[in-house]
Amino acid sequence: MMARLLWDPLRWLHAFRSNPKPIMRTVPSFPFLAVLALSAPAFAQAPAQAPATASAPSALTAAQQLAVTAMNTAVAPLNDLLAATRAELTATSLAQPRNDADIQRKVGAVASVDLYLALARADALAKIQASGDKLNAEQLLAQSQAGRGGVAGGGRGGPANTSPVKLAPPEIFTAVSQFYDYDRTTPLQALTLGTQDFPTYTREKISFAGAGGSRATAFLGLPKNGTAPYPVILLLDGVGGAKERWFHDATDLWPRGASLTEALFSAGFAVLAMDARHHGERAIPGGYRPAFSARPADRTMIQESIGEDRRAMDFLTTRPEIDANRMGVLGLSMGGIQSFALAAMDARIKVVVAGLTPIIPMKETSAIPIAPQTFAGANKSIPILMFMGRSDGFYSVPDAQQLFELISSPQKELRFHDGGHQPPADYGAVSTEWFKKYLN
């Protein structure tokens, strides 16, 4: 395994330098790095620091000191790889004329190598901790923090524990977060495309610059009750969803949109209902496949949608009717996945309601960048309400309970309802009360 740890990344870098696109064919034992490198979000930025090797503290046992030595042996060439990739990124960024596509590939490459190092290190620490010497394992963790490498195991670079629901170590979250960084200086080019008046709210159709040169589309609903500036809730639908569904008649089973938005408007909340990437009026021909398999195209779509959600928050800060310090998010299904990630990575989200969130097994490393388990532990103080169906095919009741337990915020609540992958009839009223309690 040590030989693969050293050889695979070096072979990958050679393939990347020659021609980024065929990586999947040239490095079959290392596919997830290639996929992540080519599917980083459109607004990503590279990390600035380079890792260093670890030194063995004297308190470690002889066996653990050998483990540190092995870790450093593995980290040295991988650190060189990371430094070389960062150097290529810097050179490409400064080159004229600017090649945004090439920059994007190299941003993904930097983040991918960093993620691989974090995964390998986490696996090594798990093996050392299994020896039962907790104090020495913690010392090793502290001493090797900068190294971010390790003795790989478990195949395909992933952690050995393949339980469907497990908390990702902090270094995994740190590495994954790089895929969601974006450049806030990119112009929004926001447009208001129309305004409609309704009895309880005014609705604007807006558009702004989105991922991959596209235009993101959304509805901004401003309540007639309450006083501006209003708190605002981002509404994120599931696969096949569209912004229009949040304003359907209240009897509609999915997502029972009007029952939610009318309750929010009555309570004085504004809403921003998004079309996810490739959804709504942005849909690709034939609609969109279910996005819970962690396939490259699906994962990229979710990552790009989350980047656009953050851009949407940038837009909301430009509106005088909106209180930018009181932003919450409600997501259903795929939108629940996005909600976990947003709450973990963007401090502007103050309250979360996540419903019917699919729990993606982390048996494959490719699931880590979007799995809610990756982000649950980072939500340390954000109030989170989860509601889940007892007979939902995208998770089991024990899995849902385990995900809830991973949430580190003390202000959390899990509600089950009888039914499958459909929101309960009262979720609009329940969610509104949650936002009133923690966002007003």
Per-residue pLDDT of the chain (440 residues; tens, 9 = 90+): 333 333 333 333 333 333 333 322 222 223 333 333 333 333 333 334 444 444 444 556 666 666 666 666 655 656 666 676 677 777 777 777 777 766 766 676 676 667 666 666 666 666 666 665 544 544 544 444 433 322 222 222 233 333 457 777 777 787 788 778 888 888 999 999 999 999 999 999 999 999 888 899 999 999 999 999 999 999 999 988 999 999 987 666 789 999 999 999 999 999 999 999 989 999 876 666 554 455 667 788 898 999 999 999 999 999 999 999 999 999 999 999 999 999 999 999 999 999 999 998 766 566 778 889 989 988 889 999 999 999 999 999 999 999 999 999 999 999 999 999 999 999 999 999 999 999 97
Q: Residue 224: how many CB atoms within 10 A of its CB?
A: 13
Closest CA to 338 of 312, 304, 288: 304
CB atoms within 10 A of CB 129: 15
CB 342 within 8 A of CB 431: no
**Whole-angstrom distance, CA of residue 239 vs CA of residue 281:** 13
The predicted pLDDT at position 192 comes to 97
Supply the pTM of this predicted model. 0.70
Whether the Cβ atoms of residue 268 and residue 227 lie closer than 8 Å to each other: yes
How do the domains of the chain map onto residue ranges? Answer: 2-160, 191-439
At position 280, the amino acid (one-letter code) is G
As given in the structure block, the two tokens for residue 200 are: 């309880």
**pLDDT at residue 71, as a whole number:** 62
Superfamily name and number for 191-439: Alpha/Beta hydrolase fold, catalytic domain (3.40.50.1820)
